[in-house]
Structure 1
Amino acid sequence: MSLDDLTENVQDSYRTIDDEVSVSLDREAQNELALLEAALDPEDTDELVRRAIHLFFQTTVDSGKLDFQLRSEYDVTYDEYLSGMTFEQMTGADQYPSMDDERRYQF
């Protein structure tokens, strides 16, 4: 897969998130959410879920796990996704034709 595939998949997910997200919680998660809600007193429980997603995302980026997963699945990194260009495109390495090994040293 490629950067274009990743971008398309992110856009598809973004369009369907509002329709699909309804989280069922196990007992442990429900107890933890209840404690966090009591301690932090957010306006609503959704605010805690948003914070949890932000924290999980940041932790995944900082630990390098996101880059690992993106490289495994799409052969790009998070920085490449953000810039919209692969490293080869940024450095111009993909502008040169491939070398023909049989004719490399012929004049």
Structure 2
Amino acid sequence: MSLDDLDEEIQNSYAGFDDELTLSLDRETRNELALLEAALEPDETDELVRRAIHMLFQRTVDTGKLDFQLRSSYDVTYDEYLSGMTFEEMTGADQYPSMDDERRYQF
């Protein structure tokens, strides 16, 4: 897969999200959400879910897990996604033909 594939998949996922999501919560998640709501007193519970998504995203980026997953699936990193081009495209390394190591030093 490539940067274009990743971009297309993100756009498709984004288009599939409505302003509201319906999700099911298990018992442990309900308990944790109730405790957080009581302690943090947000204006609405949705705010806690938004914060949780932001925190998960930031942690995934900071630990390098996002880059690992993107490299495994799409052969790009988060920085490459943000810039819209791969490292090879940035440095011009994809402009040169590959070297034939067997014939490299033959005249």
TM-score (ref. length: structure 1):
0.90
How many Å separate the matches in 2 of 1:40 and 1:31?
A: 14
Give the structure 2 partner of residue 22 of structure 1.
22
Give the superposition deviation at 1:99: 3.3
Does residue 57 of the first structure (1) align with residue 57 of the second (2)?
yes
TM-score (ref. length: structure 2):
0.90
The change in CA–CA distance for 1:62 and 1:46 in structure 2 (over 3 A counts) is same
Give the partner amino acid of 1:43.
Answer: D
Give the superposition deviation at 1:22: 1.2
Give the superposition deviation at 1:17: 1.4
The change in CA–CA distance for 1:18 and 1:9 in structure 2 (over 3 A counts) is same
3-state SS in 2 of match to 1:25: coil
Q: Give 1 or 2: higher helix fraction.
A: 1
The change in CA–CA distance for 1:63 and 1:73 in structure 2 (over 3 A counts) is same
The two structures, once aligned, show a CA RMSD in angstroms of 1.8
Which structure 1 segments of 5+ residues have no match?
none
The change in CA–CA distance for 1:84 and 1:98 in structure 2 (over 3 A counts) is same
Which structure 2 segments of 5+ residues have no match?
none
Cα offsets for 1:14-66 (capped at 9, x unmatched)? 01011783111001100110111111111111100000000000011111110
Give the partner amino acid of 2:90.
Answer: M
How many Å separate the matches in 2 of 1:20 and 1:101?
A: 56
Cα offsets for 1:71-90 (capped at 9, x unmatched)? 00000000000000000000
Give the structure 1 partner of residue 66 of structure 2.
66
Give the structure 1 partner of residue 87 of structure 2.
87
